[in-house]
Structure 1
């Protein structure tokens, strides 16, 4: 009886092994994206806000065609609420966090510094094989110590959105504006001939133009080593240029986002320097001005200097405590690296892609009727490869606060170098960081 029992046991083991092998052959080539069987149901959760929610849902519709077992629940909980909940969850060891979360590029390094084990190492899952599909600055922002922790998503290559009718009325050709000095000279002519000021700036609450000017020069609030860089001559030059605009009465002081949009609509400014994403605001809010807009690159600080810069952009991250990390990785990689998905995100949701392979598509070669038939997407896409990397650190928010104060002091009459030097010292006191002298 014992021998029979052993024989039955052996036969049972063999049959299980054969069944398993048969199952593998039957499903060979099936990519479940869930780290399990093809029919295993997986529900992923994601946190995002605004148009990113629609982009996620559009991507999942396509993804489910080959991965019907994967569902996605997107929670639209607002940008600042995402960060509050994310920080709280990470501090609690990952409790209550989603499988995928949207994080703006200026916050990624701060999270990685504060929570070094808080997010999935994407390089260990093979994302390095996709790295060359993205521009250098996006790769650097999404990684730490040579390892990827975020999937690069949208970006904000910058440009000078300008009113073609105002420029024509003033007799100014935008093609002749290649430096900031030339821009100021043109601005004076436009102001004299049309009454329109050159740019809108929220003088006392935001420094968007200052940041764009820093980035195009390859400098920022901090240097690559994390030292405070406000005293850098190139940083001072940017603030001096903004002061020169103010002294010439070329700056319209606006109150926040709504003030900028109002100036865009009413034609009281000739240009609006912003990221490519501002296209959507213009066509939505200034519908009556179709055919009266164009774009040219930011002027350089010297002849032949860099005109490429970035403002805004975000990436996707996977918290380490995700119970569905493999499935989350599979979907997020698909989302970030699939041309069709990225084109939908741009066409339907206004998100400029970081994925360089889409730049050869028809969309990026087309004339844009609203912008006087100009190929504005081609212009923005060609800029991406030349954008320097800004170094944010975990103290970016404090640095932004001090930079805005320095800008306010400058508009109130203080020498730009002195305003920045004082801001650097205040920032050092608040962060205990070294100042790059």
Structure 2
């Protein structure tokens, strides 16, 4: 029986939309009729895409480098090098969408609307004559001779010569239709690296978190493995009951996930992880101690609970003073120099022992998935099942906050789509790379 389509793309999120568009345009450039179907289980495409960047859609980053990625990043480097940020900017400009970067290099649509990104992708797919089908949740895939048979949860069938899996990960399930992409990959012979939530709050049992709940503070957050710093980042930390949050914490969560999965960091076994917060990163230990001594000398009647009022968020300062054992009403004149040194150390390095990660419901991205070692990264084709391609979060690669995860979705979608289309060209001989 002849296949219904040359290419079926499973998943109508960022990677799937880009893959379907790329496949159809590549077919047209080859002088062939577009024969691409995009299957999405939700009633509408791009539900998670609309929520990215607080609705503004952080598309990519001008500071793109493989150092911002985790998982199988050594293998992922080839994809990142082949699809730099400018390539993504060019692709969206072809769709009529202009982009702009903020002062930190984060790339957004010019109108700061995620809806505009989704609209550009949808219209581009329609112009390229992609058959877009919503409400088709693929529940199983089998390969019969040279064709894939995709069956929906309602029993509908689609046959295709090649298949691109871009069904996303397990993060933020309220924005996803299903996390069955891993099951589908297993059905076709792939293994799965254990999946964990990342870009997520990091849990801690520290008693200081409860009184600080809901507060924010500018800090330098460092991840300590058995007391030794392995990573760090400046940013705003948000205190939750039982967890630390904020972008700087989210970026450290990828390493926490690696530790949870393997018990190691940087190829070394680690027994204990801590997050150390420096509440005065712009001041050295000596400078901070000098400042506190001046406060004691010049404002001797100041209540002890207000010792940090000129340095920190007022409530945060009060709770830290309390944690140091300082009586809130006790005049600072009575604080000893030894106590000032102890407080200086606590302000410069307040430690929170890590007890785990928050749930997938609170996560932006999934760590884990299909190993890149099972994929030819130049084409994103499976090494295990010919004609099967992968893209996006389903793969064992995840990026930091700042547009790196969407960039991975665009890059792998472009590569998988064009490669799948080229592989169907008759008379090409050896397959071309994207």
Give the TM-score normalised by the residue count of structure 2. Answer: 0.26
Which has the larger share of helix?
1
